[in-house]
Amino acid sequence: MKKQIQIGITGMTCAACSARIEKVLNKMDGVKANVNLAMETATVEYDTDRMSPNDIVEKIEKLGYGVTTEG
């Protein structure tokens, strides 16, 4: 099943940050992400059979950014 969530991200200071996160997330299996630098959010659609919100959050944190909200 496909599901869409919003994730709050901290620590993005330039457009390359958001582009970087977006690129990495879009490489994940069954994930389509759009990162908004000004809003400090990511809109992420994922396939519940292939990925969990926690996988996505971990990926963002591993890149060095903070996650505030998820859901």
Residue 4 binds ligand 9UX (CB under 6 A): no
Residue 16 binds ligand 9UX (CB under 6 A): yes
Confirm if 50 and 1 have CB atoms less than 8 A apart: no
Candidate residues 5, 17, 28, 57; the one interacting with ligand 9UX per rule CB under 6 A: 17
The secondary structure element, H or E, covering residue 50 is none
Instruction: Dig out the tokens for 9 from the structure.
Output: 């991200």
Q: To which H or E segment does residue 61 belong?
A: helix 53-62
- Binding flag, residue 14, ligand 9UX (CB under 6 A): yes
Residues interacting with ligand 9UX, by CB under 6 A?
Answer: 13-14, 16-17
